[in-house]
Amino acid sequence: MSPNKNTSNLPVSWLWGAVAVGALGVLGSYLAAGPERFWANWVFWFVLLFTLGLGSLFIVALEHLVNAKWSVPIRRIPERLATLLIPAVPVGLIALAAIPVLYPGARPEAAHHPLLAGKAFWLSLPFFSVRTVVALALCLLGLWVLVGGSLKQDATRDPAFNFKARKFAPAFMAIFALVVTLVAFDWISGLTPEWYSDIFGVYVFAGAFLSGLAATALAVLHLQDQGRLEGVRGDHLYNLGGFLFAFTVFWSYIGFAQYMLMWYANLPDEVIWYKVRLQGSWHLITLVLAGLHFVLPFFALVTRDSKKDPRRLRRVAYLMLGAHVLDIYWLIFPVLGASPRFSWPELSFALFFLGGILLWVRGAMQKGEDMPVGDPFLREGLEFRL
């Protein structure tokens, strides 16, 4: 987990231990800290898991869509990370139980709320659940076609998959836009149903794509440390770094555009969302988020050499993942009140889910080939020069 090779492999037993200890804390937090806090944590980790998996799947689909050759040697990495969408399904289905607890729009009182009465059907528990199930099913469909097909190609070496993926990728882009918007609106901005922002889905997309890129870069560097992914060079890293750089700017652009318009218009039902986040300790977290998610990675990646420097890229990738976690925390946790909550329930959830994610990713990274060996463009991808 650090540039040092020796410490980079956490023993599996440690990870299982973390999951076990975390599970105890998770159960305890439900009893001791109350259902609201428990479900806020659960939704937080569902969104993180989901954005990480979907962001990775987006990278895969994007590379197929534009018929990219440079990314073929590293494509297996986002493909493996995208399988996180599989554990995201049970986590998401369990999260449905959070709806009556956390989401005001799904409570019976919403029918009498002047602002929510008109959206009552959309926000109601049954339709909310149906949307979530459909979104998860569409993700699995994308995973099955793009990742499953790619894994099968390792054995068949059939170039027909490339054409199939290239045809499916544009359709998946539409699915992706729908799914990411649904999940962003339902699971995140649904926490404050009076508040709405058209651009919010794009904001969550930017974060999801960044988290997928950062995880991909980290996994690539990690596998290279182990002597795998032979042939992946600075030129490939440069493209990953360039994507990271571009999308930190994109994220900030969307985030600030959303804020500035609401700040200017100063409509009560819009600014209330920011008012909570610009008062007390949340104000500090907002500033730290801007620093970690934009200022720091921007200047860390602005020069040409920094994008292909493995040490720099690794640090920025860790930073981006951390910033994404903070971003989701900033989006979800104000629902619990004016002061940010962080103590043993959050740590238990982090142990449980981080341990689980690392175990899953570790397992995925050890299965099958490290590169899509059946892809006819692999050689061209390996010869890629800037």
Partner 1 sequence: MPETSYAVLGVFETPDALMKAIPQVRASKLGTVEAYTPYALHGIEEALGLRRSPLGGMVLVMGILGAITAFGFQYWISAIDYPIITGGKSAGSWEAFIPIMFEVTVLFATFTAGLGMLFLLNKLPFFGHPVLSSKAIKGITRDRYVLALEAESEAFDSAAAARALQAAGAIEVEALPAPDRSPFLTSDWVLRTLGGIFTACVVAGLAMYFATKWFPVLAPMKYIQEQPRLNAQKASSFFKDGHGMQQPVPGTVARGYLPTATGTQEEAASLVNPLPRTPEVFALGKKVYKNRCEVCHGAVANGVGSLTAAYGAKPANLQAQQFLDYPDGKIYWAIVNGKNAMPSHAPYLSERERWAVVDYVRALQRAQNAKDEDLKVAR
Which residues of the shown chain bind partner 1 in the complex (CB under 8 A)?
256, 259-260, 263-264, 266, 302-305, 385-386
Which residue's CB is nearer to partner 1, number 86 or number 249? Answer: 249
d(CA 381, CA 29): 49
Q: Which is nearer to partner 1, 39 or 384 (CB)?
A: 384
Q: Given the complex with partner 1, which of 271 and 336 has the nearer CB atom? A: 271
Residues contacting residue 179 through CB under 8 Å, at least 6 positions apart = 54, 135, 138, 139
- If one counts every other C-beta atom within 10 angstroms of the C-beta of residue 155, the result is 11
Nearer to partner 1, 259 or 333 (CB): 259
What Rg do the C-alpha atoms of the chain give, in angstroms? Answer: 21
Least distance to partner 1, CB of residue 235, Å? 9
Minimum CB separation of residue 333 from partner 1 in Å reads: 24
Which residues are CB-neighbours of 72 under 8 A, at least 6 positions away?
Answer: 63, 371, 372, 375, 377, 378, 380, 381, 382
Q: CB under 8 Å to 206, separation ≥6 — which residues?
A: 247, 250, 251, 254, 255
Q: How many CB atoms lie within 10 A of CB 246?
A: 14
Of 117 and 257, the one with the shorter C-beta distance to partner 1 is 257
Rounded to 5 degrees, φ, ψ at 369 are -80, 150
- As given in the structure block, the two tokens for residue 226 are 């182990």
Write down how long the chain is. Answer: 386
> CB of 255: closest distance to partner 1 in angstroms?
11
The nearer residue to partner 1, 111 or 288, going by C-beta atoms, is 288
Q: Name the maximum alpha-carbon separation found in the chain.
A: 64
What are the Cα distances from residue 90, in Å, to 18, 28, 159, 237, 329? Answer: 20, 20, 34, 34, 21
Task: Kindly state the smallest distance separating residue 268's Cβ from partner 1, in Å.
Answer: 13
In terms of CB distance, is 69 or 113 closer to partner 1?
69
CB of 175 closer than 8 Å to CB of 187: no
Q: Which CB, 155 or 302, lies closer to partner 1?
A: 302
In this complex, which beta carbon is closest to partner 1, that of residue 155 or of residue 260? 260
**CA distances in angstroms from 376 to 60, 69, 75, 207, 368, listed in the order given:** 16, 10, 13, 32, 18
- 154 phi and psi, to 5 degrees? -55, -40
Minimum distance from residue 72 beta carbon to partner 1 (Å): 18
Q: How far is the CB of 249 from partner 1 (least distance, A)?
A: 10
If the CB atoms of residues 121 and 264 are measured against partner 1, the closer one turns out to be 264
Residues 179 and 139 sit within 8 Å (Cβ to Cβ): yes
Residue 256 Cβ vs partner 1, minimum distance, rounded to whole Å: 6
Q: Shortest Cβ distance from residue 386 to partner 1 (Å)?
A: 8
Question: Residue 92: CB partners within 8 Å, gap ≥ 6?
Answer: 46, 50, 132, 136
Q: How far is the CB of 263 from partner 1 (least distance, A)?
A: 5
Shortest Å, Cβ 202 to partner 1: 18
3-state secondary structure 138-179: HHHHHHHHHHHHHHHHHHHCCCHHHHHHHHHHHHHHHHHHHH
Query: What letter would DSSP give residue 289?
Result: H
